[in-house]
């Protein structure tokens, strides 16, 4: 047992200690207030009988201790590298103080809500209760309205201000859904049927000489890969030809699915037949989160889900794969008999996976929100959840975004990029969760030799400070920017995005029985995740621990072994009426550290001298 178990037990005892003397609920005091959200129109008051699920976050007084453990087990030069924490150890480190549990219980009880009405997270740091709108308004001295999104007409029930009793303030970190006006979306994948064109391209490329790429397997990549990306292309380009995972060392990879995106098994079999015949007749494990569906009707196949699963699982076969289908999708038309759509399903997934004793060691997500639409309190709390997974040995990749430095508008010239703080000034728009420092943000490249793809999301967080592991690489990039360039448009002290990159366009997939090409950083994230999973396979086969939280390792490797990443120095990511940032030597805000050289990375990550598994 590790030396910090005494601390774990001490924290756990705080949670079970006898509560202090009950205090009556005091006068309400504003907990959170936001300006009128850009792009939303306030409609009629929410119907008082509509049920709403409130998520109440209790403070995590020992999170800094968890963060210390996280960085120690993620630092390749620390003696504790790879000694990841157990589920129970993590839960003890994020548990609230017993006084907070008691005070929140008293507040809820004063409104007739008792233990049988409450759903608690395993660590007791989250409380969920479902109440009618009228009771939520009474509890928080607020008024809910139906808000309509100007772009797509989707509706949500929200408020711009809420209060809680003053004597409960220090015991509640946040309550949602209240001020969260985010619109979770997949990356802007563009699918186009090109069966005839692909056939013609294949004929042209059949006799073309291979492309010389010194870092690739054998120093060459098939000429066809410059117009159509396949599993073979990626294995060649990222120097992984010849590595054969067994799938029998306890390794696993996961893909998250939202917004009714269904990964179609029939399409997967067509993909395997063409690109990975040795995987034919194999599949993945399906996991439903909070009622997530698994519609296998061919016409209901999702381009996003098919892209993610076909390439992530195609690159890693026979490593076991899991697809998580999480319920929750706008538009929502509220009425007296329909539950509200909270429109934050990735936190439902986070709750679920944190409760699971053995999640996959690598998990990729291709969905995000504009960071400025997520209340700071909520963003930080969700980010802390990702840290918990990292401490348990899980590597998380997120697409960096498909709007360049902008707001997701496919036309960089028309992106508005207004701040959402009431000032309406022009600002670059980073995305969350990619802006969370505890996940690995993946940008995009195109063509061979690789250049930055124009839509690759990149920039700097306005919520999270730059972590120390980024300081050396990012400060060099900032020093190269002409003085005053983009002044006021970004936060030069923020967490920098992306961390790494991978190919992000012209991916050949099967959708509803037909082939076509698809692009977006939603292709890059599962691709990079697949190579991380292969690295985990190499480590686990040597009885070493999985990589877990990647970022400290990635930036350390880049500083010491430049050949581990293919540096991308051409391209930019326009948006907000600007040309965006430029790709350049070293880290940049378009492609991060660059794309992976699996062969070099494998030799590095398996060379750590200590065997970390029993």
Q: Tell me the C-alpha distance between 341 and 239, whole Å.
A: 44
* First-last CA distance in the chain: 12
CA-based max dimension of the chain: 82
∠ CA(220), CA(225), CA(228), 5° rounding? Answer: 170
Gyration radius from the chain CA atoms? 24
Euclidean distance between CA atoms 30 and 37, whole angstroms: 18
- Asked if 222 is an active-site residue, the reply is no
Binding site for Ca(2+): what residues are annotated? 567-568, 586, 588
Query: Which two structure tokens, joined as six digits, stand for 486?
Result: 């983009």
Contacts of 217 by beta carbon, 8 Å cutoff, 6+ apart: 235, 236, 239, 240, 241, 242, 599
Q: Phi/psi zone of residue 316: left (φ > 0), alpha (ψ -120 to 50 degrees), beta?
A: alpha
Tell me which of 89, 91, 125, 304 is the catalytic residue.
304
**What is the distance between the alpha carbons of residues 323 and 259, in angstroms, rounded to a whole number?**
14
516 vs 510: CA distance, rounded Å: 6
Q: Which residues face 176 on adjacent strands?
A: 55
Classify residue 279 by its DSSP letter.
G
- Give the per-residue SS3 of 135-202: HHHHHHCCCCEEEEECCCCCEEEECCEEEEEHHHHHHCCEEECCCCCCCCEECCCEEEECHHHHHHHH
The single residue listed with the structure tokens 């037990």 is 9
Give residues with Cβ within 8 angstroms of 357, minimum separation 6: 87
Of 499, 522, 537, 558, the active-site residue reads: 522
Which residues share a beta bridge with 262?
Answer: 301
Provide the annotated binding site: 567-568, 586, 588
Backbone angles phi, psi at 381, to 5 degrees: -70, -40
Q: How many Cβ atoms from other residues are within 10 Å of residue 16's Cβ?
A: 10
Backbone region of residue 520 per phi and psi (left: phi > 0; alpha: psi in -120 to 50; beta: other values): left
What are the residues whose beta carbons fall under 8 Å from the beta carbon of 479, sequence distance 6 or more? none
**Strands 500-503, 440-446: parallel, antiparallel or unpaired by DSSP?**
parallel
Is 522 catalytic? The answer is: yes
Write out the H or E segment, with its range, that includes residue 134: helix 133-140
Active-site residue, 32 included: no
Burial-class residue 40 by CB neighbours within 10 Å (0-12, 13-18, 19+).
Answer: buried
Measuring CA to CA, which residue among 274, 240, 223, 180 is closest to residue 449? 223
CB-based contacts of 106, cutoff 8 Å, min separation 6: 22, 23, 25
Note whether 587 and 476 are within 8 A (CB): yes
Query: How far is the C-alpha of 364 from the C-alpha of 529, rounded, in Å?
Result: 6
| Cβ–Cβ < 8 Å for 564, 557 | yes
* Contact criterion met (CB below 8 Å) for 157 and 145: yes
Q: Alpha carbon of 274 to those of 193, 223, 509, 576: distances in Å?
A: 16, 18, 10, 41
Active-site residue, selected from the candidate residues 32, 106, 308, 341: 308
The residues assigned a catalytic role are 304, 308, 522
């Amino acid at each position: 047992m590790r030396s910090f178990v005494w601390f774990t037990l001490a924290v756990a005892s705080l949670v079970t200690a006898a509560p202090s003397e009950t205090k009556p609920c005091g006068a309400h005091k504003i907990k959170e207030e936001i300006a009128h959200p850009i792009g939303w129109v306030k409609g009629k008051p929410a119907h008082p009988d509509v049920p709403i699920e409130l998520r109440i976050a209790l403070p995590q007084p020992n999170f800094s201790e968890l963060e210390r453990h996280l960085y120690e087990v993620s630092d390749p030069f620390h003696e504790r590298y790879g000694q990841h924490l157990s589920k129970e150890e993590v839960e003890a480190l994020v548990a609230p103080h017993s006084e907070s549990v008691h005070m929140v219980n008293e507040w809820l009880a004063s409104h007739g809500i008792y233990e049988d009405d409450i759903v608690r997270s395993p660590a007791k740091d989250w409380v969920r209760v479902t109440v009618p709108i009228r009771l939520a308004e009474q509890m928080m001295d607020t008024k809910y309205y139906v808000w309509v999104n100007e772009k797509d007409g989707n509706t949500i029930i929200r408020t711009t201000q809420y209060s809680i009793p003053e004597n409960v303030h220090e015991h509640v970190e946040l309550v949602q859904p209240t001020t969260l006006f985010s619109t979770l979306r997949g990356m802007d994948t563009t699918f186009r049927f090109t069966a005839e064109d692909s056939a013609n391209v294949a004929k042209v490329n059949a006799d073309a000489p291979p492309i010389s790429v010194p870092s690739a397997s054998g120093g060459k990549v098939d000429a066809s890969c410059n117009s159509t990306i396949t599993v073979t292309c990626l294995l060649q380009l990222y120097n992984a030809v010849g590595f054969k995972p067994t799938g029998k060392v306890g390794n696993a990879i996961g893909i998250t699915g939202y917004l009714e995106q269904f990964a179609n098994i029939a399409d997967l079999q067509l993909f395997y037949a063409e690109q990975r015949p040795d995987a034919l007749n194999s599949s993945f494990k399906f996991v439903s989160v909070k009622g997530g569906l698994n519609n296998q009707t061919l016409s209901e196949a999702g381009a996003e889900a098919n892209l993610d699963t076909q390439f992530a699982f195609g690159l890693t076969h026979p490593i076991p794969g899991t697809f998580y289908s999480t319920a929750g999708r706008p538009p929502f038309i509220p009425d007296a008999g329909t539950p509200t759509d909270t429109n934050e399903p990735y936190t439902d997934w986070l709750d679920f996976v944190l409760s699971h004793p053995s999640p996959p060691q690598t998990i990729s997500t291709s969905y995000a929100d504009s960071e400025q639409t997520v209340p700071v309190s909520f963003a930080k709390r969700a980010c802390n959840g990702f840290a918990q997974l990292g401490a348990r040995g899980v590597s998380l990749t997120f697409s960096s975004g498909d709007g360049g430095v902008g707001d997701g508008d496919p036309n960089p010239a028309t992106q508005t990029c207004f701040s959402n703080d009431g000032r309406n000034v022009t600002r670059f728009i980073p995305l969350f969760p990619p802006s969370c420092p505890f996940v690995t943000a993946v940008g995009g490249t195109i063509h061979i030799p690789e250049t930055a793809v124009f839509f690759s999301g990149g920039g700097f967080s306005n919520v999270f400070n730059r972590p120390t592991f980024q300081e050396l690489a990012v400060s060099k990039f900032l020093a190269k920017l002409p003085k005053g360039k983009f002044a006021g448009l970004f936060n030069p002290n923020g967490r920098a995005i992306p961390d790494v990159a991978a190919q992000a366009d012209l991916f050949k997939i099967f959708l509803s029985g037909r082939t076509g090409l698809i692009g977006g950083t939603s292709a890059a994230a599962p691709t990079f995740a697949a190579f991380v999973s292969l690295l985990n396979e190499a480590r686990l086969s040597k009885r070493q621990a999985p990589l877990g939280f990647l970022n400290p390792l990635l930036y350390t490797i880049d500083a010491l072994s430049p050949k581990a990443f293919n540096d991308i120095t051409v391209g930019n990511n326009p948006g907000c009426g600007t040309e965006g940032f430029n790709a350049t030597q070293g880290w940049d805000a378009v492609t991060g550290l660059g794309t992976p050289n699996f062969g070099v990375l494998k030799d590095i990550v398996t060379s750590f001298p200590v065997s970390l598994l029993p």
